[in-house]
Chain A
Amino acid sequence: DQQVKQNSPSLSVQEGRISILNCDYTNSMFDYFLWYKKYPAEGPTFLISISSIKDKNEDGRFTVFLNKSAKHLSLHIVPSQPGDSAVYFCAASENRDDKIIFGKGTRLHILP
């Protein structure tokens, strides 16, 4: 029973264009959502988070959008760069503890 779902295993985007990674969740008790980036042979690194009381959070080229009614969030990367090629994990946490639940990840390929 997956509480955090990333339905696209991979995505290819032209360099300079916008990358949009999507994530759905089922648990209405989640109150924080996070995105992590992972390169091969490295641990995940935190990218950006959003509280459930907001619908948007920006950090440089990265913007996360949250649609609570649809239980959906997305990560926008603009403009996409070659170094953005990695696996991106969507994750979420309930307000009762600090445990984070991860989706399966989406592999992003930035094409030259």
Chain B
Amino acid sequence: NAGVTQTPKFRILKIGQSMTLQCTQDMNHNYMYWYRQDPGMGLKLIYYSVGAGITDKGEVPNGYNVSRSTTEDFPLRLELAAPSQTSVYFCASSYAGAGRRYGYTFGSGTRLTVV
């Protein structure tokens, strides 16, 4: 009964490095999302996907890329990391049309620091 699994839990990157944040869900949810949470702020949507092969930008997509080759996986790629990308990243999933009624299922987050 894993739900949404994010790896790694913590990571320190140097400016200019790249990395991929992994997210996988085992609930057969169609929709998946990536949010970031900065200190004292709410969650802001980076990218989302309504199914395998379909992705779209959210509110703050700059500096990130995503792919959705399977229903289960939705990795988030950071290219050329910048200090402004220091944040906690949350992946979430839901059935189509159900997220806004019954909420998303969130992972436990990845805390990323760029130095």
A residues lining the B interface (CB < 8 Å):
4, 6, 9, 32, 34, 36, 41-47, 49, 51, 89, 93, 98-105
Contact = CB atoms under 8 A, between A and B. Distances in A.
B106 interface: yes
Size bin of chain B's contact surface: 20 to 34
B42 to A, nearest CB: 4
B104 A100 contact: yes
A32 B90 contact: no
A98 B97 contact: yes
Given A43-B107, A98-B99, 8 more contacts: A9-B40, A41-B109, A44-B43, A47-B103, A99-B58, A100-B104, A102-B42, A105-B42
Interface string B78-102: 0000000000001010101111111
A93 B100 contact: yes
Contacts of A36: 103
A41 B101 contact: no
A49 B102 contact: yes
A5 to B, nearest CB: 10
Contacts of A89: 42-43
Contact of A93 (B90, B99, B105, B109): B99
